[in-house]
Amino acid sequence: MKLKTLMMSALIALSAPLMAAEHTVEMKNVGADGTMVFEPAVLKVAVGDTVHFVPTDAAHNSESVPGLSPEGAASWKGVINQKVSVTLDKEGVYVYQCFPHTVMAMVGVLVAGEPTNLDAIKANVGPLKAKFALNKDRLDKYLAQVK
């Protein structure tokens, strides 16, 4: 019985990468939420899924915000005007930004699995929000969508 359980566990672990999904987030000058946005701005995925950040307009990047992702999660920093792909390796909430447009609150939220660190994220967004000159409530609205 133990051998059968062990074999099933191994099969599930080996097939997990095959079941991983891919998602696309566009980096835009104008979108549904106004100017300088990621679409979709809030995206729920599974741990192990890959998110492709695609610049549909010039002068954008995607990068994780230090301290606003699950503990031990890999960070990323995309190059301006280039696609960057990120595989989410830890469960929880990830907040990311377009560095050149942080002042305009060009931010987004990824949720991998369950939002286990949502309270910690909400408690630590102050320094990022202090950089916003426009759209000051955008990140709060995005985080309110996380369930």
- What does each of the 147 residues of the chain score in pLDDT, given as a tens digit? 555 544 444 444 444 455 799 999 999 999 999 999 999 999 999 999 999 999 999 999 999 999 999 999 999 999 999 999 999 999 999 999 999 999 999 999 999 999 999 999 999 999 999 999 999 999 999 999 999
In-domain check, residue 15: no
- Whichever domain contains 114, its CATH number is 2.60.40.420
In-domain check, residue 4: no
3-state secondary structure the chain: CHHHHHHHHHHHHHHHHHHCCEEEEEEEEEECCEEEEEECCEEEECCCCEEEEEECCCCCCCEECCCCCCCCCCCCECCCCCCEEEECCCCEEEEEECHHHHHHCCEEEEEECCCCCHHHHHHHCHHHHCCCCCCCCHHHHHHHCCC
- What is the span of the domain harbouring residue 60? 20-144
In-domain check, residue 73: yes
Model confidence, pTM:
0.87
Count: domains in the chain? 1
In-domain check, residue 11: no
In-domain check, residue 87: yes
